[in-house]
Structure 1
Amino acid sequence: MMISEKKRLVIPLLGAPGIKLTGTTLKQNLIDPSIQFKTLYKILERFNPDGIFPFMDLTVEAEALGLKIDFPENENPSVREHPIKDREALAELKRKWNGISGRMKVFIKVCEMMVKEFDRIKGGYVIGPFTLAGELMGVNDLGINVLEEPEFVKEVVEFTTKVILEYAKVLFETGIDVVAVLEPTAVILSPQLFKEFSMKYFKYLSSEIKRPLIYHICGNTKHLIEDMGKSGAWGLSLDSAVDLKWASEIVPSKVNLIGNLDPVGVFLQGSPEMVYERTWKLLERMKDVENFILSSGCDIPVGTPLENIDAFMQAAKNF
């Protein structure tokens, strides 16, 4: 991976806001690799970050497993139903799983094009095993079953880990540098349950793939940070609720800390002046932390003014 030790890396989680640059819809980008690549190309041209990821989409693996998806034109798609309520349904799903399918192929193609054309850090995304279990079972049922039917939940998570491992390996085969594992649902877990139902499977992915993985959990993950730092992750992508300076004192220095300007309160709703000021403040606070990569706390929303992303990049450049 191309990482300069002298330069502070700036890699905002862009994608969706770029549809304004190509006059396309979010849906078009999520179903057509050539449209998505064109948008990513325009994003690089305008903002020039040090790294780029495809569009973030938490329904790709669920859809590949046969779940029905609601797919609006300019909002994130969502899973319509959560069919895995018992072992019988899980056994049926396992029987039907037939390897890389559906829109996984869209994102594999996008990664191939990125590797061919882009001269900077290139990443991919997979959903996290526990979060995919939540898509299959429904998050409420998942939360209840973690306590009432833990063995059943483990069976589901073991299966989702297998699916994700298969997909992540193919993404890496395209030549990308890093894969972010998106595990937002893990934020509901206590530290003990987190180790048992999320981190154990992340560590397994890491040991099997032996390539750089980023652990991304949205929201307030202060109760999980210490364990996340021991997960074998190359980097932790943390949301704006976490004080990154505090995290840097807990997480080993060999693990990169990635974040964490508020994607909604700052990027989407702020003015360019506010974005610039908050970015500067974060850089100032983290200036002595060598394992810090400047980014957004999560995916930057679709309606974000492009001028706000300009201001973010400008602050980073000027700092």
Structure 2
Amino acid sequence: MNEQSVEKKVIRSMIHESEKQAYTGHQTVARKHDLGHRAQVEMALNFEKPYRTPVQNFSNITAVHSGGYQFKDARTNATLSAKLALRFAKLTHSDFVKPALDTNGQLIDIGLNIKQPDDNYGRAVSSLINEPEDVDRLELYDPFNPKECPYFTKGFVENIRMVSDTMDEDFHVLGMSWGPFTTAAYIRGAENIMMDINLDPDLIKKLVAKTAEFCERIQMRCIDAGATALWMSDPTASEDMISTDMYREFALKGTKRVCTNVKKETKVPIFVHMCGESSETMQLLPDAGVECFSCDSKVNLAIARKNIGKKMAIMGNIDPVRVLWQGTPQTIRDTAFKCIDDAGQEGGFILAPGCESPRDCSDENMIAMGMAGIDYWMR
């Protein structure tokens, strides 16, 4: 038996032991007609009337903390990352699993200075584009060449592959890239790119064209490693930062390029998330190829459903801080039921937090959200 096979056997044993711990005192309601995680998500994307609402626990660091570790322990430890992510997906009745991905880690290999605290996500403390000529000189790595991107390979590719190779349920496996506009904002600096909208719009368009190609390759590498869904977060493109007209001019083309080109090569479903208000901007996304939009808690789901109709599924949008972290299982259940009332009566809806679940959310609260997707339909 080769070394890789031994490692996979070891982690499967670790996950089995973690499942026993995770389910102590909490048994899943029997769902004899459940077709599996991916089939349930597909039903939602196809607007088939559900017998349960699929759930995305929107977890990353939360799973690491729940398992008793700091984030530094799992960033580049594929075995531990897979163990913790799969344990938490099962514990919280999620239909999706995401390994421990330090979201800004994908930017380290392009030369950005990313500070990585022991127990939180990394943050960019520098920019790379100071003048227009820097865009032409900017070299973004090839995600398929490990020599060009050792951190991305270790912290993303290997973590995704281990989850995919060792899971024993058909979870949707999430990789991740920032959206092209948000990637451009990291490289240029968020404040600078906001000024460029008025002072140098051509620079933004040129840079976003470059980052769109980069994000497309990041997504394809994640899918090649085992991700089964395209997950793209674009917080800098929300209406809290730029108007819908600005999004149409500066960001939409890049998003559409990523979605269109990935779909040419794969059949993965496409999910896009924006923080903050996005009720108007999200209406542009079905034509860009987005199949499901993940809404922040600031979005009114009833209005969003009315505006979008059946053009695109919606995901969301429990307040991650006020409700999911600081609330009780009962307030979470009530809020989740309201979300389903507003947007999920006829399918086309995935229950989730409005943004990533906070690091210190209790298992009890996360389980309550997962169970709400089942319990709503059993009343």
TM-score range (shorter-chain normalised) is over 0.9
Aligned counterpart, 1:120:
171
Confirm whether residue 268 of structure 1 aligns to residue 321 of structure 2: no
- Identity among equivalent positions (%) equals 22
Confirm whether residue 27 of structure 1 aligns to residue 80 of structure 2: no
Aligned counterpart, 1:110:
159
Cα displacement (A) at 1:154: 1.3
1:139-193 Cα offsets, whole Å, 9 max, x none, are 1100010221111111211111121111111111234221111100001121221
Paired with 2:237 and 2:172, the residues of 1 have a C-alpha distance of 27
* Contact 1:90-1:156 at 8 Å conserved across structures: yes
* Contact 2:57-2:92 at 8 Å conserved across structures: no
Gaps of 5+ in 2: 1-36, 44-49
Confirm whether residue 228 of structure 1 aligns to residue 265 of structure 2: no
Residue 347 (structure 2) aligned to one of 290, 299, 305: 290
Residue 233 (structure 2) aligned to one of 165, 168, 182: 182
Cα displacement (A) at 1:61: 2.7
Q: Which stretch shows the higher mean deviation, 82-91 or 214-223?
A: 82-91
Matches within 5 A, 1:219-258: 219-258=276-315
Cα displacement (A) at 1:99: 4.2
Cα displacement (A) at 1:276: 2.0
Q: When the two structures are superposed, what TM-score results if normalisation uses the length of structure 2?
A: 0.79
Q: Which stretch shows the higher mean deviation, 60-69 or 22-31?
A: 22-31
Paired with 2:280 and 2:250, the residues of 1 have a C-alpha distance of 15
Confirm whether residue 192 of structure 1 aligns to residue 249 of structure 2: no
Aligned counterpart, 1:142:
193
* Contact 2:340-2:349 at 8 Å conserved across structures: no
Q: CA RMSD in A?
A: 1.9
Confirm whether residue 160 of structure 1 aligns to residue 211 of structure 2: yes
| 2:58 partner SS | coil
| 2:287 partner SS | coil
Paired with 1:45 and 1:194, the residues of 2 have a C-alpha distance of 37
| 1:277 partner SS | helix
Q: Which has the larger radius of gyration?
A: 2
| 1:2 partner SS | helix
Paired with 1:29 and 1:183, the residues of 2 have a C-alpha distance of 24
Gaps of 5+ in 1: none
Paired with 1:79 and 1:270, the residues of 2 have a C-alpha distance of 31
* Contact 2:53-2:374 at 8 Å conserved across structures: no
* Contact 1:260-1:298 at 8 Å conserved across structures: yes
Cα displacement (A) at 1:108: 1.5
* Contact 1:111-1:174 at 8 Å conserved across structures: yes
Aligned counterpart, 2:221:
170
Cα displacement (A) at 1:287: 4.1
Paired with 1:190 and 1:22, the residues of 2 have a C-alpha distance of 40
Matches within 5 A, 1:93-104: 93-94=138-139, 97-100=141-144, 101-104=149-152
* Contact 2:316-2:339 at 8 Å conserved across structures: no
Number of residue-to-residue matches in the alignment: 318
